[in-house]
Amino acid sequence: MLRRRRNPRISLISLKLKNTIHPNHNLKMGLKMAYILSMSEQVKLKAFLAAVLDDYKLGAISQQQAVSGITSLVDALEISDSGKISQMLSEGRKLLRTG
């Protein structure tokens, strides 16, 4: 009988959902992200992610553009590039559609 190995990432996600891990815990590296979002940045982040998903759903951007935009924002968060973070949160949708 074959046994499936538990994916450690899934178990970390389930722990995060149960609020036993800090919300800024980086699941990939086991470290906290250096940049902590303010409340207004959190609102802008939710709006950015919703806009990216809506644009992809409507066909305004490709899957590659959507993933690229989200990835570049996460990368900026990991290295605490506040200029890039604020640019992506305020102009990210426009940047994705043009480039």
Rounded CA-CA distance 92/78 in Å is 17
* pLDDT computed for residue 63 by the predictor: 94
* pLDDT computed for residue 28 by the predictor: 54
Instruction: Using CA atoms of 96, 43, 22, 15 in order, give the dihedral in degrees to the nearest 10.
Output: -70
Q: Please, what is the angle between helix 63-78 and helix 82-98, to 10°?
A: 170
Closest CA to 85 of 52, 22, 38: 38
Written as six digits, the tokens of 42 are 């959190």
* pLDDT computed for residue 30 by the predictor: 52
Tens digit of each residue's pLDDT, the chain (99 residues) = 555 555 555 554 544 445 554 555 555 555 556 678 889 999 999 999 999 999 999 999 999 999 999 999 988 888 888 899 999 999 988 888 886
Domain boundaries, the chain: 1-32, 33-98
